[in-house]
Amino acid sequence: MLDQLQRLSADPILGLAAVARADDNPDKVDLTLGIYMNEEGVCPVFRAVTEAQAALAAAEVSKAYLPPEGVAGFNPGMQALVLGAGHSALVEGRVCSVQAPGGCGALRIGAEIIHAAAPDARVWVSDPTWPVHLPLLGSVGLSFETYRYYDPASHGVDFDGMVEDLKRARPGDVVLLHGCCHNPCGADLSLAQWQVIADMALAQGFMPFIDIAYQGLGDGLEEDAAGLRLLAAQLPEMVIAASCSKNMGLYRERTGATLFLGRTRDSAEALVSQALVAARRVYSMPPAHGALIAARILNDAALGEAWRSELLAMCGRINRLRSSLREKLEAASGRDFAFIEREKGMFSFLGLSTEQAIRLRQEHSVYMLDSSRINVAGVNARNIDYLASAVAKVL
């Protein structure tokens, strides 16, 4: 029976990251996977995480199951982080959340609830979007429509196209939006554009589903959540998938949360009860370690401050790398790369063809996705000149 199954090809992101890891060229540049890397090319552990972890290890007396909603203190901490303490939706008590296994688990639980509420809902996804959105939401049974988003000619958001396409969203449809630091293109909506989306959602009756996996890596924790917070203040219902992978560096600890904004406290609580049943079907309860660490950081003033300042430094470094990369690429190629500085977070498309991305890999050991998505945080002072000259050679 089982031997009928064919071997599948590796995941386009994780598979390519494995190929890059295996390359022993000392000059290789790995810009594949969306993880923050420091100047030494290491994905570091935050100092606040190390400290919280040591305190946890010293105090831990049990590995008994977590309650299905997760670590006490994690959910309120995440709600305040994402929405901002004192947000009207929190004050009105119409926000509830569950801890989930990473941003992927959070998306999946959100999708389960959307499907339970509206099995025929169509989910509108940006063109392009993070490719894993499709299996994560689609395997629940949701179907997709696509809205225009990235304009390769201007290297920015095709907002007119987006609005035109979303005019076709029906009441009960869901619009999946990247809260900030769009993956893969790095082009984000302005606050005025978020307001247009809020007005459309209210007028047409579609519900936003926000994936905010990179809060804190664009302009800062508060700035990056401003669009989502605007929607949450004006719309009756919303689902948010949040992650601590990138902004706390807890990637392998699978730490995330699904937030539900209901019309009333009662409806938000009903959604959480549904989410707990959905989680029981899939993984029973979330893993503890990362959320215990995150809860300590989110609920302790000194640890929280240390974490915020380290995150702000990372965010500043990414933005400085964007400027340096623009400068180096322009000098090496004579072309315009100003868009890299305008984009936010870890990712940008370099605007290369798939053939050029493959040549970079094969001829120069420079690894980026076939779409020419790069992880800007993989650039450093040692590899930036080599990278710029390799890109110029294939252009």
CA distances from 275 to 105, 186, 285, 305 (A): 11, 31, 11, 32
Question: Cα separation of 194 and 173, whole Å?
Answer: 18
SS3 378: helix
Q: Cβ–Cβ contacts within 10 Å for residue 74, how many?
A: 28
Smallest CA-to-CA distance from 155 within 184, 116, 114 is with 184
Judged by CB under 6 A, which of 29, 33, 111, 244 binds ligand LMR?
Answer: 33
- Least CB distance to ligand LMR at residue 34 (A): 3
Question: Cα separation of 99 and 71, whole Å?
Answer: 7
Over the window 122 to 151, marking each residue x when it contacts ligand LMR by CB under 6 A and - when it does not, the resulting string is: --------x-x-------------------
| Amino acid (1-letter code) at residue 169 | A
- Least CB distance to ligand LMR at residue 17 (A): 8
**Given the complex with ligand LMR, which of 32 and 53 has the nearer CB atom?**
32
**Given the complex with ligand LMR, which of 183 and 371 has the nearer CB atom?**
183
Cα-trace Rg, the chain: 21
62 contacts 49 by C-beta, under 8 angstroms: no
**Given the complex with ligand LMR, which of 132 and 196 has the nearer CB atom?**
132
- Least CB distance to ligand LMR at residue 129 (A): 10
**Given the complex with ligand LMR, which of 132 and 270 has the nearer CB atom?**
132
Q: Is 13 in the site for ligand LMR (CB under 6 A)?
A: yes
Report the site for ligand LMR in 218-257 (rule: CB under 6 A).
Answer: none
Question: Cα separation of 50 and 61, whole Å?
Answer: 19
Judged by CB under 6 A, which of 20, 30, 31, 34 binds ligand LMR?
Answer: 34
Residue 129 has what DSSP assignment? -
- Least CB distance to ligand LMR at residue 77 (A): 22
Report the site for ligand LMR in 289-308 (rule: CB under 6 A).
Answer: none
Q: Is 77 in the site for ligand LMR (CB under 6 A)?
A: no
Written as six digits, the tokens of 217 are: 């890596």
**Given the complex with ligand LMR, which of 166 and 242 has the nearer CB atom?**
242
Residues with a known catalytic role: 130, 211, 246
- Least CB distance to ligand LMR at residue 378 (A): 11
Written as six digits, the tokens of 368 are: 């980026």
- Least CB distance to ligand LMR at residue 245 (A): 8
| Count of residues touching ligand LMR (by CB under 6 A) | 6
Residue 308 has what DSSP assignment? H
Burial of 246 (0-12, 13-18, 19+ CB in 10 A): buried
83 contacts 111 by C-beta, under 8 angstroms: no
> Which residues face 373 on adjacent strands?
349
**Given the complex with ligand LMR, which of 169 and 360 has the nearer CB atom?**
360
**Given the complex with ligand LMR, which of 35 and 80 has the nearer CB atom?**
35
Q: What one-character-per-residue DSSP string does 53-73 give?
A: HHHHHHH----PPPPTT-STT
Residue 119 has what DSSP assignment? T
Q: Which H or E element spans position 124? A: strand 122-127
Strands 174-178 and 122-127: parallel
Judged by CB under 6 A, which of 79, 129, 183, 258 binds ligand LMR?
Answer: 183
- The contacts of residue 9 (CB under 8 Å, 6+ apart) are 15
Q: Nearest-CB residue to ligand LMR?
A: 34
- Least CB distance to ligand LMR at residue 215 (A): 14
Q: Which residues bind ligand LMR (CB under 6 A)?
A: 13, 33-34, 130, 132, 183
